[in-house]
Amino acid sequence: MKTKRIQDRRKFLLAAGLGGAGAAAIVAGVKGVKKAPASGSVEAAADDGYRETDHIRKYYKTTQV
């Protein structure tokens, strides 16, 4: 009887952990969604995203063989 209680507890803790991780992923996904620019202009979309700065260029120079 004791091993059944331990197994039930383990299953419960596993389910609770997975459920919590799933809920956190959903919340992070909802907050991470970006809305499209209202004007639909290319300039507004170009401001978001990757930017190659001096710092990045210096890093790239250190990785060249």
d(CA 13, CA 19): 10
Higher-scoring residue by pLDDT: 54, 27: 54
Is the pLDDT at 54 greater than 90, yes or no?
yes
Whether this model's pTM surpasses 0.75? no
Q: Break the chain into its structural domains and give their ranges.
A: 2-63
Is the pLDDT at 45 greater than 60, yes or no?
no
Q: What is the pLDDT of residues 6-39, one digit of tens each?
A: 778 888 877 878 777 777 777 776 665 565 555 5
